[in-house]
Every structure is written in structure tokens, then in C-alpha cells.
Amino acid sequence: MSEPFELFNEKLLADNIQIISWSPTADLVLLVSHENTISLYRKREEVSKVWSLENTAWSEIKIVTWKPNGEELVIGCVNGNVYRIDITYDTPKMYPCWSPVKEPASITSLVWIDYEYKKEQIDIEGFDINAFDLESSLPTLSDEPPEEPCSRIPISRRKKVQLPRKPLYSTETRTLLFIGNVKGLIHITLNGVYPIGLLDMFEENSNPILLDISVPHDVSSVQVLTKEDKDKFILNVIDTSILQDKKKQIFSISEIQTKLDYLLEYTNTTLNVLVRHHTAYSLLISKISTVASEYILKNDDQATAMPEVELTGTLAIGSVTETLRLFFEEYLTSQYIKQLESNVTHGYQNSLKIVCEHIIPACERIELALSDLLGFSLWTQRYGDFLETTAVEKTIHCIRQFVSQIHLFTKDLNHVSTTFRAFIKWITTVTEKVAVTSSAEFQNESSLCEDPELVLEFLNKDFIKDSLVEYFVSPINFEQEKNREKGYNSKRLVSLLTNVKTSCRQMLEKPSVTFTEQMKVTSKYRFRLDGVSPCDQPRDKVISFTTDYRDGVQYNYHAFLQLNPDRKLVILKNGFGEDSEVQCAIYNIPGIITDMEFFDDKELGICIQKDKDHSLLSTILLCDIKFKRLPSTELFIDTKSLDVSRSLELKKMNHVKIGCNGQPKRRIMCLVASNGSLKIYSMENEEAEDSDCIEIDDQSD
């Protein structure tokens, strides 16, 4: 007899896994350990690790869900924080997605669905729809990553920074992410970024528990399963038709918001390279003055080390002291000066290139996008619920401040570059003269400098000090900091860009009052089940699955354990129709269920531990279940024996966790035991595929 599941791969893991989650579009599986280490694995001929993230920024991870296109995922934590992870980069990028708006509360439900919208396109003969594309007239935004500073360690190739991925506005499907915490707060975001609604299910009553959120494809209504008392449950139906009614406005703003997110991340990435260049060339110049000071103190430890004064004297009278002579002969050699000139000039030139090819073009596109949002905000009849004109104008003011300082920085950097060239030319001449001329002969030399004013300026402003530091370091003087709080215009570029990002986020994260007012609970279906607690569940939460349309209706399934008086498996079923009732089936369990997951809309997989070294993977066909309607006042106690469809013996595997990808052409699952044994199986069942599956509902109470 053949095995009910075909084994693909085996692997032994070092971590004890608590969560398994498959990408919906690729053979990638995310594993979360009990230590909160997140690891992404790829299934090919062998199972290989793609990357791993140790838990350094979040609390215990409770739940994971993927974006429908498989390019991102979100993780929900016990402290109420949600993080979004982009896996399209060589190393994953993690962003805060949501933080508790009230008290911290564990995330219990994450649902991420497609939110499609076909933009109306009016074709007018002889009219070019791109004729008013102002962005095409802007300077090109470079796709080439900027050069990094020269390394002090000789290496063959400097690794360039990775620029953010440019969004494909016309082809990317928008998504809705629903976030629910145990206290009943439901947060709705577009694309996992733009907040468009916040609903408090329980308001002042903090006793109920939010168990699960279910969302149909048309998002016209949302079902929320909550638990009020030890045996009282409510299936709440929330009217979310506004998500359809306001879809055009949401998409218009979200397209600009997506563009702004990309441009701000692009600007931030390239600005960080600019900061690294400044750090590199300023340290190189500072090193010369530091060593010169050491030579002065070595000659006379009672003297005050002022190398700029010594060099200014040399510039003025052409005389080099014995202290400086040793400095030139032993340290500031011609070879060292050439290397210094090359590295510092590299920093100056690439800094200017970053500004001209990356930062300024990105800022011009940010201003253009904000001007579009300003136009939307003035159309109060359509966009008044989404944008405030004052908030957009504030963001425009912030980006203009940043651009103004970038232009001033470019001007100052050009001037410093000029004075540095004059300094290098002069110092090279001095070094050459010191190398071949005696001290007496050197004093009789005429002027060694063609541009003494520029050299003097460099010695006064950039040799000991750093005239550009104000663009990169916050004010440390108390008066400056005090003035900055009163409105002092800081030159610090990183702070100014942070102001832009903060203002942009506040402008787009304002929860819509209209959305919050209109998303109300329209009906409640109450029922009673004894002995059900979230903390007793294998994943500390309810397992759910939403089907595709069947005869014009979508159905939702829930599965969880009932532990009083005996261990039982409870499966609920309900539709998304207006008058859909909740139906139930309860099964006795021949063992301890360590995990369970819906394969698809036809089958539920259950991991059952028989003894310490023996587990069983069993499945139930949903179409074979005879559901009964749940009464609203009486406890439902009707139980039956478990009717298993397929069963697989798992030897030397205990406390088994399961994760499935039931998408067409994927059909794959992963089992991981507490000893680290990982096995990947096919979910295909030829016998089940060939037979018709017709569900049977028993309408009797």
C-alpha cells in the first residue's frame, strides 16, 4: 500500500520550531523558533536556508501571514507590534507596520488579501495621455547605486549599497491588511503601509477576547469571532462596504503614497552614503592635524599643540620649524600626500555626484507627488475624508527646507574642494623642498604657494575643524539646541529628511473619521461552547480558512480544541451572507493534537501525538462533515468519532508542527518535530481529486 503523502525532502534543524508559514507563490517556507529566530528556507532538490533573523527588535512572535504575491510577510507579536518584512532583497528588510494605539495587547489575527481596482481609462482620439507627464521632464533618477568611500584596507572591489526596488504602479495589485489584537482593536492598512481605518470592537469593555478575523474577497463585510465569557462566543458581522464605495479615492492616494515611500527610502539610502563619504574624508584630514600635534608635543611637551598656526607661519614666511621638518620627512611624504589627495577627492566628487544624480532628482519627484496630493486635498468633496490641506502644505515645507540645505551643502562642498586642492598643491611643494633642501636654504626660498588665501582658509576652517560638520551632526551647544526647539533652522541633513518622513507619515496615517464611523457591527450571532480557551490551542489562537466562491457564496471555517471535560476537536462553518448561521461539528480525539491547519477548502490536517516517540498526521474531508446549527442559548455537546480520510505515521517525531501551501500547482506541506526533524510532503491526493466532494449539512438542532 502506497503512502498517502509523497515525501520530498528531509532535514535536521538546530532550532525548536513553533510557527511554519509557506509563501503563497513560491517554494519558500518561513520557520519561527521558540527563541523567536526567523529563518527562510527554499525547497529544491534539498532544503536550504536563504537567510535568518534573530529576535532583537520585537517580543514573542505569535502569528505570521504573507502578502498574496509572496514578496512580503508580516509578523504579529505579544506586545502588540506588527512588523513587515520585504524578502525581495538579498538580506531581508524589516519595517514597523503597526504599534499599539492604546495599551499593548497580543496580536491574534492577521489577514492580507488582494484589493483589486480597475482604473477607468478614457481614450480620446488624437490625445496623448502622457502629454502632461511632468516627471518625464525632470532630471533622470539614477538606477546605479552610488560609490562607497574608499576603504583604508586594500580590496579589489567596494560593495555598493542596494537601492530600493522601484514599484511597478501599473501592474502591482493593491492589498488590504487586517490586524486584530486580543483587546478587540482592528486596524486596516492599504499595502501594509497606509492606514485607512481603526475599529474598537469592545470600546470600554475589556473582558471579551478577539479570536479571529475573516474577510471575503469583496470586503463588503468582515466577520470577527470573539469570546465574551468562559462559554459565550459571538460571530460579529461588520459592514465594511465603504472600502468598496471609496475605492477610487483610496487608490488615487495610495498610488502617490507608494511612490513617496519609494522616493523617501531612495533618498534616505543615498543620503546615508553621502554621510559615510563625509565621515571618511573628514577623518583623513583630521588624521593629519592629529599627527602634526603629536610631533609638536614630542618636541616640546610643555607647548600648546597648534599645527594650523605652525603651518600658517610656514605659509607666511616660507620657514619650516625643526618640529614640522620631522613631520614632513617622517609622515607627510609625497606618496602619502598622493594617496590622501586621491581618497579625499574621491569623497568630494562622489558626494557631489550623489547630490546631483540621486538626491536632487528624488526630491524633485517628491515635490511633484506632494503637489498632486495638495490638489487632492483641495477637492474636499471627494478627498476631504483622507487628506488635510494644512498637513500636505507642512510636508511640502519640510521637503523644501531639505532641498534648500542640500543646495547650500553642495555650494559649500564645492568651495571646500577648491581650498583643499590649493592646500594639497602647496603642501606637496613644501614636502618636496624639505626632502632636498637644508633648513638654511629653505628659509631663503621665495613664496611656495600660488593661492595663499585659499590655503589659509583651508587651514582655518577645515584642517583642525570641519566646516561641513553642521550638515551632518546635531547642535551640541545648549543655546543652539534651545534655539532649534524654538524654530532654529537646523542644517543637519539627516534630521531634515527625518522631518520630511515624519510629516509624510502623519499626513497619510491620519485615521479616517468617516471610515471609523461607518465601519460598524451590523449583526451578532451568539453561541455557547464550554472548555475553549485560546491559551490551550496549539498555536494559542483559532485556526481559520476562507474558501473561494461556491454558488456565489464564500464560506469560512474555524477549528480549535475543546478541553472540558475531554479533549475534542471543534469545527465551525458559516457563510458570508447576511443571514448565514454558524454550524458546528465536534469530534472525540484519540490522542493529543499538537497542531492543525486547513490544507484548502476540502481538507483539514491534524497532527496527533500518540506517545512520546510516535505521532500521526490525519486529515478530515470537510465535505464529509455533517454540520449542525449552533443554538444561541444552550451548550452544544453533540460529539462524534473522528472520521479520518488520510493518515500518515510519523515515527520518532513528537510535538509535531504543520504548515501548508494549498495553492494550485503548489500543494506542499512541512512537518517539524521538537527534535528538529523536518519533512516536506506533497499534499496531492489523486483519489480525492477524482471524486466529487459534496458537503452535507444537517439542519437539525
Residue 314: how many CB atoms within 10 A of its CB?
21
Average pLDDT over residues 219-230: 89
Q: Based on the fold, state whether residues 273 and 414 are members of the same structural domain.
A: yes
Side-chain half-sphere of 331: how many Cα atoms within 13 Å? 14
Structure-block grid coordinates of residue 296: 609638536
Alpha helix stretches (DSSP H) within 169-246: 242-245
Provide the percentage of residues in the chain whose pLDDT is more than 90.
41
Whether 258 maps to a domain, the answer reads yes
Assign 681 a pLDDT band (cuts: 50, 70, 90).
Answer: very high
User: What pLDDT shows up at residue 607?
Assistant: 94
User: What is the tens place of the pLDDT at every residue in 284-338?
Assistant: 998 888 888 887 777 666 556 677 777 777 777 777 777 777 788 788 888 888 9
Residues 6+ apart with CB under 8 A from 187: 98, 101, 178, 179, 180, 195, 197, 198
Whether 635 maps to a domain, the answer reads yes
User: What pLDDT shows up at residue 78?
Assistant: 92
- The answer, as to whether pTM is greater than 0.85, is no
Q: Based on the fold, state whether residues 506 and 606 are members of the same structural domain.
A: no
Whether 41 maps to a domain, the answer reads no
**Residue given cell 483587546 in the structure block:** 183
Average pLDDT over residues 648-669: 90
Q: Name the residue among 570, 569, 561 with its Cα closest to residue 534.
A: 561
Assign 420 a pLDDT band (cuts: 50, 70, 90).
Answer: very high
Structure-block grid coordinates of residue 590: 484519540
Read off the amino acid at residue 513: V
Lowest mean pLDDT among 483-492, 532-541, 576-585: 483-492
Whether 236 maps to a domain, the answer reads no
Structure-block grid coordinates of residue 483: 534655539
Whether 494 maps to a domain, the answer reads yes
User: What pLDDT shows up at residue 594?
Assistant: 94
Assign 111 a pLDDT band (cuts: 50, 70, 90).
Answer: very high
Whether 594 maps to a domain, the answer reads yes
Alpha helix stretches (DSSP H) within 558-652: none
User: What is the tens place of the pLDDT at every residue in 17-47?
Assistant: 999 999 999 999 999 998 889 999 999 888 9
User: What pLDDT shows up at residue 693?
Assistant: 59
For residue 152, pLDDT over 70 is answered with: no
User: What pLDDT shows up at residue 18?
Assistant: 93
Q: Which of 511, 537, 570 is the last residue of a domain?
A: 511
User: What pLDDT shows up at residue 689?
Assistant: 47
Q: Based on the fold, state whether residues 507 and 563 are members of the same structural domain.
A: no
User: What is the tens place of the pLDDT at every residue in 460-498?
Assistant: 888 888 999 999 886 544 444 444 444 445 679 999 999
Residue 28: how many CB atoms within 10 A of its CB?
19
User: What is the tens place of the pLDDT at every residue in 385-409?
Assistant: 788 899 999 999 999 999 999 999 9
Q: Name the residue among 259, 258, 242, 262 with its Cα closest to residue 196.
A: 242
Q: Based on the fold, state whether residues 333 and 424 are members of the same structural domain.
A: yes
Assign 120 a pLDDT band (cuts: 50, 70, 90).
Answer: low
User: What pLDDT shows up at residue 415?
Assistant: 94
For residue 153, pLDDT over 60 is answered with: no
Number of domains in the chain: 2
User: What is the tens place of the pLDDT at every residue in 431-450?
Assistant: 887 777 654 445 545 556 77
User: What pLDDT shows up at residue 258?
Assistant: 83
Q: Based on the fold, state whether residues 385 and 466 are members of the same structural domain.
A: yes
Phi-psi map region of 676: left, alpha, beta (phi>0 left; psi -120 to 50 alpha)? left
Q: Based on the fold, state whether residues 256 and 358 are members of the same structural domain.
A: yes
For residue 690, pLDDT over 50 is answered with: no
Q: Based on the fold, state whether residues 505 and 604 are members of the same structural domain.
A: no
Structure-block grid coordinates of residue 676: 528538529
Range of the domain at 9: 1-17+557-701
Q: Quick one: DSSP state of residue 592?
A: E
Structure-block grid coordinates of residue 439: 633648513
Q: In what order do the strands lie in the sheet with 194-200?
A: 107-114, 175-181, 185-190, 194-200
Assign 410 a pLDDT band (cuts: 50, 70, 90).
Answer: very high
Structure-block grid coordinates of residue 375: 490638489
